[in-house]
Amino acid sequence: MTLEEFNVLDRDSARNALRPCVDIDRWIDAVVDARPYFNLEDVLRVAREGALPWTEAELDGALVHHPRIGEMTCGASAEASLSRSEQAGVDPKDTVVTDALFDGNRAYEGKFGRVFLIRAAGRSAAEMLTSLQNRMLKSPEEEVSVAAQQLREIALLRLEGILVP
């Protein structure tokens, strides 16, 4: 949708338009309530700073909807479509890497209690696997900050994708 269309949506419709970006109400409200926007840079500035910092509960709630890296989602929802596009660097035929991602995802979830999250767009499966392995070395306190930053990057990327100047 265009920025002009987003600016004139009623509040509920604007909130629903942003939900596929990240399902954190405080962030959605910050972006919606700062309307009208005159350019995409203004939207992204608000989105970068909106609802900082995210709480661990908000992060966990938002991650409920995120598929595991390497496990392609099915379905027609906006979020499923975005996820498939973002994970284009994962080749299901590369079983060595996909198997390692599968095992790494389970180990990550066992250690941190949440799905491994990374801004996958533009990254190869091998890069994502290396990041997963490196992040397994972090403490839970360090990792929650990294995961929140990755979620914010995903939200910004998705926001840029749904709003055209």
pLDDT of residue 76: 47
Q: Which amino acid is at 127?
A: E
Distance CA 87, CA 74 (A): 13
Take residue 140 and report the two structure tokens written for it.
């839970």
CATH superfamily of 3-162: Oxo-4-hydroxy-4-carboxy-5-ureidoimidazoline decarboxylase (1.10.3330.10)
Q: How many residues are present in the chain?
A: 165
Take residue 113 and report the two structure tokens written for it.
């209690």
Decide: 107 and 87 in contact? Cβ < 8 Å: no
Angle, CA 160 vertex, CA 97 and CA 49 arms, to 5°: 100
Averaged pLDDT for residues 33-39: 97
pLDDT of residue 25: 95
pTM of the entire predicted model = 0.83
pLDDT of residue 142: 95
Distance CA 19, CA 25 (A): 8
